[in-house]
Amino acid sequence: MNLVLLGPPGAGKGTQAKLLEDSRSLVKLSTGDMLRAAVAAGTELGRKAGDIMERGQLVPDDLVIGLIAERMDKDEGGSGEGYILDGFPRTIAQAEALDRLLKERGKKLDRVIVMEVDDDALVERIAGRFACAFCGEGYHDIYKLPKVKGVCDRCGSSGFVRRRDDNEEVVRARLQAYHAQTEPLIDYYTRQGKVRAVDGMADIATVSKEISQALAGA
């Protein structure tokens, strides 16, 4: 099964993608994670993408499509039963490229989960988030602190990081990019009968249960 998690920044796509990866034999492909890794490694791609990301705008289609293609090629033979795409596609051109990449590999997209959240809640959500620097487990200043202060619940390490683009000004730009460039994908995939909407405002466990229900029969 191959699925796309679609929703605005802060909707919980990364959290749910990780849960799905842990509970099913699926491989998570997150262009945001790949781009941040490229920025941290100082590669040419990272240098091209870094400034754009800090402004909250979208990185050019050809760059992110190239990243996804490369990852799918490395995963030749498939280490799992399919892909969870988190943060990709974000434009119609990317969606068309995804259809093509899957088709070339004898696969298809089965479901698109749209995580519905309202904009005002997103700014608060995003401004409080941080993650374990080692395993990437996500936390939040209000909603999800580590059980033991300063120690990651998942891997026990004690370093945490905050994303540079998780501040109010950049979040507003990211939301604008979402509404203008990514939201049209909901229509694109609705026409293909692949969309299932879930209430992204519910707590993590409830959203996860709703997603499982939405995937049944896919």
Q: Which residues of this protein are in contact with ligand AMP, per CB under 6 A? A: 9, 31-32, 35, 52-53, 56-59, 64, 87-88, 90, 94, 165, 174
Are 129 and 138 spatial neighbours (Cβ–Cβ below 8 Å)?
A: yes
Q: Would residue 24 show up in a list of annotated catalytic residues for this protein?
A: no
| Identified catalytic residue from 107, 163, 194, 196 | 163
CB of residue 99 vs ligand AMP: minimum separation in angstroms? Answer: 15
Residue among 18, 111, 125, 174 flagged as catalytic = 174
Q: How many other β-carbons are positioned within 10 Å of the β-carbon of residue 34?
A: 20
Q: How far is the CB of 37 from ligand AMP (least distance, A)?
A: 11
Q: Please identify, using beta-carbon distances, which residue of 75 and 158 lies nearer to ligand AMP.
A: 75
Choice between 71 and 158, CB closer to ligand AMP: 71
State in angstroms the smallest separation of the CB of 12 from ligand AMP.
Answer: 11
Q: Identify whether 90 is a catalytic site residue.
A: yes
Q: Which is nearer to ligand AMP, 28 or 154 (CB)?
A: 28
How many angstroms separate the CA atoms of 93 and 172, rounded? Answer: 23
Long-range (24+ apart) CB contacts under 8 A made by 172-179 are 172/56, 172/123, 173/55, 173/56, 173/57, 174/8, 174/9, 174/56, 175/8, 175/9, 175/119, 175/122, 176/56, 177/56, 177/57, 177/58, 177/90, 178/8, 178/9, 178/90, 179/8
Tokens of 45: 């791609």
Question: Minimal distance in Å, beta carbon 154 to ligand AMP?
Answer: 19
Q: Which of 18, 36, 90, 125 is catalytic?
A: 90
- Whole-angstrom Cα distance, residue 205 to residue 55? 32
Tell me the residue nearest to ligand AMP as measured from the CB.
32
Is 209 annotated as catalytic? no
Helical packing angle, 92-104 and 61-74, nearest 10°:
20
* Residue with Cβ nearer ligand AMP (46 or 146): 46
Positions marked catalytic: 13, 90, 129, 163, 174
